[in-house]
Each structure stands twice: as C-alpha cells, then as structure tokens.
C-alpha cells in the first residue's frame, strides 16, 4: 500500500486569504466613509479651491474641428463632463446625459462632454451612441484650469452666470444631476 504524501500549502493560498481580508477591510472603509453621518455615497463634492467661483474659460475643438468656447454658453446651465471612451463609468453616465439634454435643453440646459481620448475613437463612439450634445476634445491646459482632473468621469455643474456650483468625481446616477439642474433652471 502506498503512502500518500502530505499536501503542501504554499504561500499562494495564504496570499489569496490576505488579499481577501484586505479587500474586505477596504470595502468596509469605503462604505462606512461614504455613508457616515447620514450622507449617501452619491453626495455632492465641493470643488477644489482652484475651481471655486467663475468657471475657467476655454476654447476647444468639437467633433468637426469647430472651436467652441465656454463663453458661447453664457446664460445656460452647463453640465461639463470630462470623460473617455475607455472609461466604463463614463460610458454608463452618457445615456443619462443624453436623456437630460433631451428633457431640459429647451429650458436652458447644455451638457458638454470634454473627451480625454483619441479623436477617432471619440468620433466613432459619439456617432454610435447618438450623443445629442457637444463633444469637445480636451487638453492638459483645460484640465489644469479645472483643478486637475485626477479621475474620470469628473463633472462640473455651472450656473447661468458661469459660476461652478458643484463638482462630482466618479459615476453619479441621473437623479443627482437632475436635482442639480432643476435648482438652476
């Protein structure tokens, strides 16, 4: 009769256990941080001090190469969304922005997408998804003017007077933007 050899557990098994514990602790921290003091995980975020007050002016090319300036939108409530085609949360927000533009455009809303991506990919994506609002090609200069775009999507809500009233980093559901828009229209 053959004796079976004892099973050796390598560091791989323990590494996975440690990784799982770290993930659970990180998840707990994120959940408790975002829901503490009765706030939801979709709470508004205050803009960095570099973006308080008037929205920084810019002129950027649209999908056809035509220059579009923020000053062209004076008098509108502007939702300015920094995004990219490779960003899943960005792609998840775009159908909501299309819906909001359709619903509130006649009342003075203007959604503007600032793509931080390759031109050909953005043009194809905008066509395929029926984006009904201006899509502009971003620049490092504009990103810096808006306090540095560290993650996307990063979205600014700008009132009719050109003042930034809110900044959101990361995905937000349509209702969050709709609430902001309704207050300003």
Residues 6+ apart with CB under 8 A from 46: 166, 167
Q: Which of 55, 78, 79, 90 is catalytic?
A: 90
E-state strands within 16-108? 59-61, 67-69, 77-83
SS (H, E, C) the chain: CCCCCCCCCCHHHHHHHHHHHHHHHHHHHHHHHHHHHHCCCCCCECCCHHHCCECCCCEEEECCCCEEEHHHHCCCEEEEEEECCCCHHHHHHHHHHHHHHHHHHHHCEEEEEEECCCHHHHHHHHHHHCCCCCEEECCHHHHHHCCCCCCCCEEEEECCCCEEEEEEECCCCHHHHHHHHHHHC
Is 90 designated active site?
Answer: yes
Residues that are catalytic: 90
């Amino acid at each position: 009769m053959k004796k079976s050899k004892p099973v050796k557990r390598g560091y791989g098994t323990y590494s996975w256990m440690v990784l799982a514990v770290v993930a659970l602790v990180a998840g707990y921290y994120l959940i408790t941080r975002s829901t503490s003091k009765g706030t939801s995980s979709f709470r508004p975020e205050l803009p960095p001090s570099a973006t308080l007050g008037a929205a920084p002016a810019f002129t950027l090319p649209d999908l056809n190469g035509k220059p579009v300036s923020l000053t062209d939108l004076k008098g509108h409530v502007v939702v300015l969304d920094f995004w990219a085609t490779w960003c899943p949360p960005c792609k998840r927000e775009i159908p909501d922005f299309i819906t909001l533009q359709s619903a509130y455009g006649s009342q003075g809303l203007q959604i503007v997408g600032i793509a931080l991506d390759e031109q050909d990919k953005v043009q194809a994506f905008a066509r395929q998804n029926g984006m009904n609002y201006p899509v502009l090609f971003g620049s490092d200069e504009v990103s810096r003017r808006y306090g540095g775009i560290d993650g996307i999507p990063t979205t600014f809500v700008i009132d009719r007077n050109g003042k930034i009233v809110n900044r959101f980093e990361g995905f937000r559901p349509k209702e969050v933007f709709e609430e902001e828009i309704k207050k300003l229209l």
